[in-house]
């Protein structure tokens, strides 16, 4: 969360080639959240986020930027597709549910940081319970209700000795546990689950219920005790989880999660161009227009009811993205356009971009295939002229047919290595060199034949 804009951009650079303008503006927007957290409270209220609209052709990195940003910021972040919503009142998911999703995301962030805080204590308690399981307390000596007086003193002496011995044994076991010497012993864990009807949470509209039905059912549903044998190692994980839940205040976590979502939450709305209605309005189009209308208050700032309490969306950052192939941003409702003041355009990818996409990112396509072939003990070597040729074909096919951006590289690579992927396990040859000739041999025919390439590439 403390990343500077420059650091954010350089993290994004590891995965996404080019598109500097888009990277810069998301980086600044993220940093501005951090800045806002640090100004006076009175000023804080005034500063609202500047929402971003990313516009660019298909397959040039819009969604990819969002995906990478999500793992980077440490802030509550969700990515949703505008197309999955329907207007309130129609059957389907209403837009308010995106805010609920954001809070869920915040909740899991808060929960895991709280878990981290109580971890030591939870581990200690879990180990203590393991000691208990491995060495149950000694049974009290029998004939307790024997009314022979003389015997009683002797009995309790014996009990005392037993309990001293027991304590000593416990200490030994505790030591051994801590040293990890008993990891493979088996213990029986009794876990309680309750038969909760799952239908409740899946019913449309149920998410918006004022209180948590799921939780209510969990309270009243019959308990189901099951005994499971596990190794000490597995049991410890299980018990740590149980104990940390005991140590964490649920209310505190929920309040913190709502606050986090309100102040630092980011909602990425993908495919926003798909909710533009076409000229003639009917059927699905009417509903799309409705989705835009439903989005307005949420983007502008409103209060949404969630099962964790009311959530204000005034300071949630929205980033929208769309290809706007068939429509323009100006086809969106004017009110909605105005709520995304920062516009960034992503560029079409060039052949040079393709070369870099193929080779530079940490998980680039060539590296992926190399890793896959490695499992068959085959070394895959990409020569620069081979890469060049691949990029060339990708670019050419994009020009000749539909421009699907970097996704074209996927289809071309798949075609290139189709034969090898099939034959690999049976091959004697342990080194395959992909140079310009290799590429040409396998792609040229298909890319020349327009009909063929329509299907294959
Ligand atoms: N600039 C880029 N650098 C690296 N990889 C890229 C780049 N652009 C696209 N890709 C790759 O191409 C694939 C498709 O990209 P992405 O999902 O970001 O497209 P998009 O811009 O969201 O398109 P659409 O409008 O169709 O949703 C991704 O797997 C991504 O890794
Ligand atoms: Mg996309």
CA distance 399 to 283: 35
**Is the CB of 272 inside a 6 Å radius of any atom of ligand 1?**
no
CA distance 318 to 29: 10
**Residue of 61, 322, 358, 412 to test ligand 1 pocket, by largest number of atoms within 8 Å of CB:** 61
**Is the CB of 19 inside a 6 Å radius of any atom of ligand 1?**
yes
Q: What is the pTM of this model?
A: 0.78
**Is the CB of 60 inside a 6 Å radius of any atom of ligand 1?**
yes
**Is the CB of 122 inside a 6 Å radius of any atom of ligand 1?**
no
Q: How far is the CA of 62 from the centre of ligand 2 (A)?
A: 6
Q: CA–CA distance from 2 to each of 12, 343, 383 (Å)? A: 15, 25, 40
CA distance 125 to 119: 10
Cβ atoms < 10 Å from Cβ of 57: 18
Q: Which pair of structure tokens corresponds to residue 335?
A: 């009110």
CA distance 434 to 421: 14
Assign 345 to helix, strand or coil: strand
Name the CATH architecture for the domain at 5-112+256-345.
3-Layer(aba) Sandwich (3.40)
Q: How far is the CA of 232 from the centre of ligand 1 (A)?
A: 45
Model confidence pLDDT, tens digit, residues 203-220: 555 555 545 666 676 667
Q: Which pair of structure tokens corresponds to residue 346?
A: 């992503």
**Is the CB of 13 inside a 6 Å radius of any atom of ligand 1?**
no
**Is the CB of 357 inside a 6 Å radius of any atom of ligand 1?**
yes
**Residue of 64, 348, 359 to test ligand 1 pocket, by largest number of atoms within 8 Å of CB:** 64
Structural domain boundaries in the chain? 5-112+256-345, 129-247, 351-446
- For residue 98, the model assigns a pLDDT of 92
CA distance 53 to 345: 8
Q: How far is the CA of 76 from the centre of ligand 1 (A)?
A: 23
- For residue 269, the model assigns a pLDDT of 92
Q: Does the domain made of 351-446 have the CATH classification 1.10.8.60?
A: yes
**Is the CB of 57 inside a 6 Å radius of any atom of ligand 1?**
no
**Is the CB of 59 inside a 6 Å radius of any atom of ligand 1?**
yes
- For residue 143, the model assigns a pLDDT of 53
| pLDDT beneath 70, residues of the chain | 1, 140-155, 193-215, 217-219, 278-287, 450, 452
Q: How far is the CA of 105 from the centre of ligand 2 (A)?
A: 21
- For residue 190, the model assigns a pLDDT of 80
Rounded to 5 degrees, φ, ψ at 193 are -120, 155
Torsional sign, CA 20, 25, 29, 32: positive
170, 90, 92, 158: which is closest to 132 by C-alpha? 170
Q: Say if residues 112 and 253 touch (Cβ distance below 8 Å).
A: no
- For residue 172, the model assigns a pLDDT of 87
- For residue 277, the model assigns a pLDDT of 72
Kindly identify the ligand whose nearest atom is closest to the C-alpha of 323. 1
Ligand 1, atom 18: closest residue by C-alpha = 61
Q: Which pair of structure tokens corresponds to residue 301?
A: 């700032």
**Residue of 17, 19, 58, 60 to test ligand 1 pocket, by largest number of atoms within 8 Å of CB:** 60
């Amino acid at each position: 969360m403390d990343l500077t804009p420059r650091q954010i951009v350089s993290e994004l650079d590891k995965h996404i080639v080019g598109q500097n303008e888009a990277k810069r503006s998301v980086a600044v927007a993220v940093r501005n959240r951090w800045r806002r957290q640090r100004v006076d409270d009175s000023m804080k209220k005034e500063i609202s986020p500047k929402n971003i609209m990313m516009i660019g052709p298909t397959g040039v990195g819009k969604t990819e930027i969002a995906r990478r940003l999500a793992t980077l910021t440490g802030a509550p972040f969700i990515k949703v597709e505008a197309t999955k919503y329907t207007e309130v009142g129609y059957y389907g998911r209403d837009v308010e549910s995106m805010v609920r999703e954001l809070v869920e995301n915040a909740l899991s962030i808060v929960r895991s940081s709280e878990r981290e805080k109580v971890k030591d204590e939870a581990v200690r308690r879990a180990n203590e319970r393991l000691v208990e399981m491995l060495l149950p307390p000694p049974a009290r000596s029998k004939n307790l209700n024997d009314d022979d007086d003389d015997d009683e003193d002797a009995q309790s002496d014996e009990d005392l000795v037993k309990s001293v011995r027991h304590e000593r044994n416990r200490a030994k076991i505790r030591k051994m546990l801590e040293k990890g010497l008993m990891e493979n012993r088996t213990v029986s864990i009794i876990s309680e689950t309750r038969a909760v009807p799952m239908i409740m949470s899946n019913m449309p509209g149920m998410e918006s219920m004022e209180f948590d039905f799921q939780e209510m059912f969990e309270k009243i549903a019959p308990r189901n005790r099951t005994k499971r044998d596990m190794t000490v190692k597995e049991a410890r994980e299980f018990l740590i989880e149980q104990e940390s839940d005991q140590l964490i205040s649920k209310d505190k976590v929920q309040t913190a999660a709502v606050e986090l979502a309100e102040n630092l939450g980011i909602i990425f709305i993908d495919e926003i161009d798909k909710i533009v209605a076409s000229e003639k309005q009917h059927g699905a189009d009417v509903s799309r227009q409705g989705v835009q209308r439903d989005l307005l208050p949420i983007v502008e700032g409103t209060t949404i009811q969630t099962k964790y309490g009311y959530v204000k969306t005034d300071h949630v950052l929205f980033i929208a993205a769309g290809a706007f192939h068939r429509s323009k941003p100006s086809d969106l409702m004017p009110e909605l356009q105005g709520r995304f003041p920062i516009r960034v355009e992503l560029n079409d990818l060039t052949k040079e971009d393709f070369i870099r996409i193929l080779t530079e990112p940490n998980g680039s396509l060539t590296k992926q295939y190399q890793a896959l072939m490695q499992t068959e003990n085959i070394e895959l070597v990409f020569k620069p002229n081979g890469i060049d040729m691949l990029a060339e074909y990708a670019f050419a096919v994009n020009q000749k047919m539909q421009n699907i951006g970097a996704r074209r590289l996927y289809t071309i690579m798949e075609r290139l290595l189709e034969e090898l992927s099939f034959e690999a396990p049976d091959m004697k040859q342990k080194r395959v060199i992909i140079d310009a000739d290799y590429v040409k041999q396998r792609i040229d025919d298909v890319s020349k034949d327009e009909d063929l390439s329509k299907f294959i590439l």
